[in-house]
Structure 1
Amino acid sequence: MSLDFEPVDDLTGPGETKSNLDVLARLFPDAVIDGTVDVEALRDLLGESATATGAEAFGLRWPGMAEARRLSTLPATGTLLPQTEQSVDWNNTRNIVIEGDNLEVLRLLRRGYTNKVDVIYIDPPYNTGNDFIYDDKRITSQVEHETVAGHRDEEGVLQTGAGSDRAQDRRAGASRHSAWLSMMYPRLLVAHHLLKETGVIIVAIDDTEHARLKLLMDRVFGAENFAANVAWQGSGRNDARFTSAGIDYMLIYAKSRMKLVQEDVRWTEKKAGGSEVAEAARKAWEESGHNPAAATEALKNWWRNAPSDIAKGLGGSRGYKEIDENGRVFARGDLRSPNPRENLMYDLPHPVTGLPVRMHPNGWVYSQETMARKIAEGRILFGQDETVSPRYKRFLDELEDQPIRPVFEQDRAAAGLYLRRLLESDVFEYPKDHTVLAKWINAVTESNSDAVVLDFFAGSGSTGHAVMDINATDGGNRRYILVQLDEPVDKDGYNTIADITRERLRRAGRQIPSKQSPDAAPIDTGFRSYRLASSNVKPWDGTPDQLDLLEAVDNLVAGRTADDLLVEMMLRMGVELTTPLETREVASGLLYNLAGTLFAYFDTDITIDRANEVAKALAAWRDEDPGDADTTVVVRDTAFVDSATKLNFAAALKQAGFTTLRSI
């Protein structure tokens, strides 16, 4: 039995190079020899399904693609530093906001959040020429790009031809598209790992990169998992040359479309306008003193005076203009059968004259038995005599859902106005409309009240705002993870866009209670803020300073805390950042307990006596609520006064039943 503490940084996670190699070794041991892949052997094992070297294949290709793919497999080298002073309700919230480059952050999250995210929404840079700021140091040089793209001949001479200006434009355009694709590719590959099998990703885009993004999504998620291409028509331009434009798109892919079909997943929305009409009817009913005729007239008058643009948006609620004796809004529906059926053709007597009412040639929509039940329920509205065909009484509060529409109109200017009022500053241009995001997030998660939502191009924080609004509506426990680059803005007191993100969430969270009923349960309006940084552990570089044993006693970067180290340990070991945490003071240091499955002790200068005290405290705390899962203990690599103390501590833990020991 080994008494060693295995270094945390020796571990690997899903999607990383070593993990991929391990998977191949398990599946095809004959193709992995001494930790390297025999590509020819692997091709033989795959048979006709393997593409021969140099074979032509259908799909998107661009210069720099291979390097971009490789970036997705690299393990993260950084960490996240907790920013409690920037956070809201740190101890209780399960929402997360992270400031830093999203590729490294995604790699950090991969170990703890693989197969745990329900929906990803991202609004990446549209690559219009002035909004592309990501640089992952993976794009080839201009000369290399021109050579791979075929713009230089074998001697390296630039082939411009007669149309040199156009050729220059083509080269610049190709390079720009390649850079954008190489930025998106590794991020989407890591995102694919994070999604559940029933998960969905929504990517906003405009015409500039729509076609290339569609092909890229086909490559990463599989063309068979394409779900929808949503068109959002905003306000167009009156001075446009060809069309008024103003369209954004949302490409939607499932992690496994087949899985969604097997589980009979359906993305629906309420028919438009139901809530607006219901509110108008409620006011009419109260103001009429519960008089059905007066309330109906008031509701019809509301419809007549509704502005045309509002009336247009009420869609399927258009026919609901009457109020019955119980204050319920209803519309008159057809009772005819869609197809001629003999068993649906029968006499239906008028309740007053007793004579058969006029029947449609196809017959009735209901059987005789069902029709009798509907009449007893008061759902059939007869005319003054048998010459008038009866109608079906359809209530507004029973308005059925409909498949969500992939094309819609909504002016995007309203989102900008809302954010300016919320922040009291015109600091962020063109934010995404959080009401639109709420609608689509709710639809693709089938109103899952516990959904985990990720946005790694967070911008002003519209996605987090949307999640809180959905929770406020139905009392759900959805949570968000937002990642935003610390892009400078230096405007109105905001240093970076991440500052804007956090402030929007603070202010939106403070408004939430006003949207809830007085007796509604409180929802999570807080967030934990983190900042991407280099590892807390000093890298080994072989310099004389590090060779000095006195310098090597403390392996942490100056200024970092035990809490910082705890977060890095959680990320490297695949523990979710919002895992419940308890602490106790033990042997003059702090003992961390993460949900009873992982304990950490980062104090230093541990003697044998202190080590024994910590070992006893660990066993006692574990035994207070013993579980079936293995319990891990993590310590600092340089925590002990000597190696003998470290070995004695490990032996005491093993004797107490702890089987997994790690060091950082």
Structure 2
Amino acid sequence: MAADFAPVTALTCPGEAAGNLEALARLFPGVVTEQGLDVDALREILGEKVRPGAEVFGLRWPGMGEARRLSAEPATGTLLPRPGESVDWDTTRNVVIEGDNLEVLRLLRRGYTGKVDVIYIDPPYNTGNDFVYDDSRMSTIAEYETEAGLRDALGPLQVGEGSDRAQDRRSAASRHTRWLSMMYPRLLVAHNLLKDTGVVIVAIDDTEHARLRLLLDKVFGAENFAANVVWQGVGKNDARFTAGGNDYMLIYAKDVGLLVRNDVRWVEPKEGYELVLAASKRAWAESGHDAGRATEIFRKWWNTKPDVEKGLLQYKEIDEHGKAFRRSPVSSPNPRENLMFDVPHPVTGRPVVAPPNGWRYSRESMAEKIAEGLILFGRDHESTISSKTYLEDAREQPIRPAFWQVRATASEALAKSLQAQVFDFPKDVSVLAKWINAVTQGDKKAFVLDFFAGSGSVGHAVMNLNAADDGERRYVLVQLDEKVGKNGYETIAGIARERLRRAGAEIAARRRVDTGFRSYRLATSNIKAWNGLAELDLLGSVDNLVEGRGTDDLLVEMMLRLGVDLVTPVEIREVGGSTLYNVGGTVYAYFGADVTTDRADKVAKAIVAWRDENPANSDITVVVRDTGFRDDCAKLNFAVALEQAGFTTLRSI
């Protein structure tokens, strides 16, 4: 038996290049060889629809292939836990991560693929002064022109006789290229994280709206487009063409067909519904439960012109049960033979006047509605009839794709909360809450991700939703460590954490919901990388871990590599002078150093005993420090003891 354990760093997952190759090998074993993918064999299996070099319709830009490749690269970093920055570390299920979101998304891919219900992002609008994701991988103007065939070794090529292209046009083309190359790999990884029923909402302005929609078509498929929401804010009175002030939210489903088959509907409460309902109840009470008198009082209230949704204006009567209702036509919009039948008047017994196209309902449905009292007859058979719809059944409506909301309100609210003006243009928490709730159909356990978190508005919105309905929604926020240097805040991520602390404390004072979060920061791996250039230092190579990192840091990296949710409960026990971790009963980790044979035996027995206290229904993984054992004998004895106890998955870090 070998003493070497498979390293967790060698694991792959769908979405990574190696994982994608493994997926192809499972589907088509003959196309993957020892040398890699046999593209010609794959093309033959897929048939005539796959043609090399074929022109295709869609968005393309210089550097697109490189951007796509970045999405498939495995993560090389880790997340360092920061309990001191956190709130309710041991109990919360929310996560805030500071660092470059592409690397963070790749780290999250193993544990969160197919887990997220809704992704909301508000990426840089690319206005020329707010674009900070300026990786060296992104195109310069010269690189853009070279890849686009507009530059050679001597410089820019002329277009047309005597042409001298304007500098701003060259700059704009490069800027759009850089923005697309930044967004593309992030959206590709995000697509993996969504559930099949998941939805992505991307905020944008006019600058990149058209290109973003084409990019989302490329990532999600044009058939999965769901909505283009228009958010009208305050316009500019001195604007040259229109007042402007529009922002947008492009919404795509991962699988629109699945949502349709599940009869998913995105709805919102009608504006002013509760106001109308309360007025109808007051009228019923004041009337002494007299339907005629209650209707009279109710209509007088309507004369005050309350500010409510237009569709509520029709509810102006109250029936003998004290319920507000409206009358609706019962005629069919189109003539159909099966809708032509007699409906007898309940008093005269003679057929009532029928509409020319027949009734809206079938004979059976009409009989059911009459029996339920939902068809209103006139005095005799010569009067027309109508259907009855109760106000209590009309609380919601399909969510409107255009709305008006002043954005300054959100800025004022954030400045008041933080007692300082430190962040420009935060998103309105109420708007985010409305749309998150709509696209998740009010799911109280929805999982929300925002990897352009800014000031943390999405986290605040999720907490507000939970406070409103005692929900258990959770969020993961990712924000670049972008410098801000305002009023004591070093980074935008720092603003987000403080905003969540204050908003959470305010909510916790009145409702018992999860208002905490675990804070993490992106860092290089805890495992030293050998670059192959320096002389081999045998003594220095014995310990492969970065100096200054602790066992808690190793635990988080191990969880990320194994695809374990970051908020999985962790228990600890001290064994042999180091910490033994129990992660949700399915992973045991021990990162002690200089482990002798005797100490290895103690650790193995402790793991077995802990497992036996609460047996798991799934496979259990044991992870150890690769260089933690004093010699191979100690490692081998440890492995034998665990395998004899039924453990089959042993790994190292």
- Per the TM alignment, residue 399 of structure 1 is displaced from its structure 2 partner at its CA by 0.8
Is 2:101–2:478's contact at 8 Å kept on the other side of the alignment?
Answer: yes
Q: Check the 8 A contact 2:77/2:523 in 1, yes or no.
A: yes
| AA aligned opposite 1:11 | L
The answer to whether the Cα contact below 8 Å between 2:138 and 2:182 also exists between their aligned partners in 1 is no
Separation in 2, partners of 1:80, 1:326: 61
Partner residue of 2:615? 626
Deviation at 1:179, TM superposition (A): 0.2
Runs of 5+ unmatched residues, structure 1: 517-521
For residue 348 of structure 1, what is the aligned residue in structure 2? 345
Deviation at 1:331, TM superposition (A): 3.2
Return the alpha-carbon distance in structure 2 between the equivalents of residues 425 and 455 of structure 1.
24
After superposition, the Cα gap between the structure-2 partners of 1:326 and 1:157, relative to the gap in structure 1 and judged at 3 Å, is closer
Q: Which one of the candidate residues 421, 425, 445 is aligned to 1:450?
A: 445
**Pairing 1:332-411 to 2, within 5 Å after superposition:** 332-336=327-331, 338=333, 344-349=341-346, 379=374, 392-399=387-394, 401-411=396-406
SS of corresponding position for 1:49: coil
- What residue number does 1:186 align with? 185
Equivalent residue runs for 1:518-533 within 5 Å: 522-533=512-523
- 1:287–1:563 CA distance, 2 compared to 1 (3 A): farther
Matching residue of 1:108: 107
Q: What is the letter of the counterpart of residue 465 of structure 1?
A: H
Report 1:181-260 matches (<5 A). Answer: 181-260=180-259
Are residue 606 (structure 1) and residue 601 (structure 2) matched? Answer: no
Q: Aligned-pair distance for 1:209? A: 1.0
User: SS of 2:247's equivalent?
Assistant: strand
How far off its partner does 1:603 sit? Answer: 1.9
When the two structures are aligned, how many residues end up with a matched partner? 651
Residue type matched to 1:159 in 2? Q
* Offset of residue 294 of structure 1: 7.5
CA deviation profile, 1:48-92 (whole Å, cap 9, x unmatched): 222324x43322211111211111111111111111122121111
How far 1:166 sits from its partner (Å)? 4.7
Cα deviation digits, residues 473-496 of structure 1 (max 9, x gap): 333322111111121222223221
Q: Summarize the Cα distance change of 1:321–1:420 in structure 2 as closer, same or farther, 3 Å threshold.
A: farther
Residue 599 of structure 2: SS of its match in structure 1?
helix
- Name the CA shift for 1:327/1:419 in 2 (closer, same or farther; >3 Å): farther
Once the two structures are superposed, the pairs formed by residues 34-433 of structure 1 within 5 Å of their partners are 34-53=34-53, 55-153=54-152, 156-159=155-158, 166-281=165-280, 299-300=298-299, 302-306=301-305, 310-311=307-308, 314-323=309-318, 327-336=322-331, 338=333, 344-349=341-346, 379=374, 392-399=387-394, 401-433=396-428
Q: Is 1:585 matched with 2:574? A: yes
Are 1:506 and 2:501 an aligned pair? yes
- CA 1:322–1:89 in structure 2 vs 1: closer, same or farther (change >3 Å)? farther
> Residue 513 and residue 286 in structure 1: after superposition, are their counterparts in 2 closer, same or farther (change >3 A)?
farther
Question: Which residue of 540, 552, 570 corresponds with 1:563?
Answer: 552
Distance 2:535 2:281 in 1: 77
d(CA) in 2 for partners of 1:318, 1:637: 71
Aligned to 1:652: 641
Displacement of 1:28 in angstroms is 3.9
Report the AA paired with residue 560 of structure 1.
Answer: R
Partner of 2:606: 617
Report sequence identity in percent.
Answer: 63
What secondary structure, in the 3-state scheme, does the structure 1 residue paired with 2:421 have? Answer: coil
Residue 410 of structure 1: CA displacement? Answer: 2.9
Q: Tell me which moved more, 287-296 or 121-130.
A: 287-296
How far residue 163 of structure 1 moved from its aligned partner, in angstroms, is 7.8
Q: Is the CA contact (8 Å cut-off) linking 1:147 and 1:156 kept in structure 2?
A: no
- Given that 2:2 and 2:636 are in contact with CA atoms closer than 8 Å, whether structure 1 keeps it comes out as no
Deviation at 1:100, TM superposition (A): 0.8
Q: Letter of the aligned partner of 1:330 in structure 2?
A: F
Counterparts of 1:299 and 1:60 in 2: how far apart (Å)? 57
Distance 1:367 1:223 in 2: 38
1:536 aligns with 2:526: yes
Q: How far 1:364 moved relative to its partner?
A: 6.2
Matched to 1:504, the amino acid is R
CA–CA distance in structure 1, aligned partners of residues 6 and 354 of structure 2: 82
State the AA in 2 paired with 1:412.
R
SS in 1 for 2:202: strand
Alignment RMSD (CA, Å): 3.1
The amino acid across from 1:638 in the alignment is T
Q: Quick check: 390-399 or 536-545, which moved more?
A: 536-545
Amino acid paired to 1:200: V
User: SS where residue 48 of structure 2 aligns?
Assistant: helix
Q: Counterpart of 1:32? A: 32
The answer on whether the counterparts of 2:280 and 2:324 sit within 8 Å (CA) in structure 1 is yes
* Cα shift at 1:372: 7.6
Distance 2:163 2:294 in 1: 74
* Counterpart residue identity of residue 457, structure 1: F
Structure 2 residue identity aligned to 1:563: D
2:315/2:326 contact within 8 Å kept: yes
CA distance in 1, matches of 2:450, 2:200: 10
Q: Deviations over 1:215-251 (max 9, x none)?
A: 1112111222222222222232222222222222222
Question: One-letter code of the match for 1:42?
Answer: L
Verify the 8 A CA contact 1:127 1:208 in the aligned structure 2.
Answer: yes
In the alignment, what sits opposite 1:12? 12
- What SS does the corresponding residue of 1:203 show, helix, strand or coil? strand
**Equivalent pair of 1:332/1:392 in contact (CA under 8 Å):** yes
CA deviations on 1:178-237 (whole Å, 9 max, x unpaired) are 000000011011111111222221111121111111111121112222222222222322
Deviations 1:544-575 (A, max 9, x none): 797151x3443322322211110000001111
Letter in 1 for 2:39: V
Deviation at 1:305, TM superposition (A): 3.7
- Native 8 Å contact 1:278 1:396 kept in 2: yes
1:224 and 1:355 map into 2 onto residues whose CA distance is 52
The CA distance in 2 between the partners of 1:372 and 1:196, in whole Å, is: 43
1:589-633 CA-partner distances (Å, limit 9, x unpaired): 221111211100112222222211111111111122223422111
Moved more, 36-45 or 484-493: 36-45
- AA matched with 2:594: D
Q: Distance in 2 between matches of 1:72 and 1:289?
A: 68
Judge conservation of contact 1:15–1:193 (CA < 8 Å) in 2.
yes
Looking at structure 2, the residues matched to 221 and 507 of structure 1 have their Cα atoms a distance apart, in angstroms, of: 37
Aligned residues of 2:118 and 2:198 also touching (Cα < 8 A): yes
Deviation at 1:27, TM superposition (A): 3.6
Q: Name the CA distance, whole Å, in 2 between partners of 1:286 and 1:553.
A: 83
- In structure 2, how many angstroms separate the alpha carbons of the residues matched to 1:77 and 1:271? 49
State the SS of the aligned residue for 1:318. helix
Is the partner of 1:22 in helix, strand or coil?
helix
Matched-pair contact (CA < 8 Å) for 1:381–1:393: yes
Amino acid at match of 2:604: A
Q: Which structure 2 segments of 5+ residues have no match?
A: none
Shift of 1:498: 1.0
Deviates more, 1:31-40 or 1:641-650: 31-40
CA contact (8 A) 2:269 2:397 kept: yes
**Deviates most, 22-31 or 531-540:** 22-31
How has the CA–CA distance of structure 1 residues 34 and 506 changed in structure 2, closer, same or farther, with 3 Å as cutoff? same
Q: 1:344·1:366 contact (CA, 8 Å) conserved in 2?
A: no
Amino acid at match of 2:184: Y
Q: Whole-Å Cα distance in 2 between the matches of residues 32 and 374 of structure 1?
A: 63
Aligned-partner SS, 2:185: helix
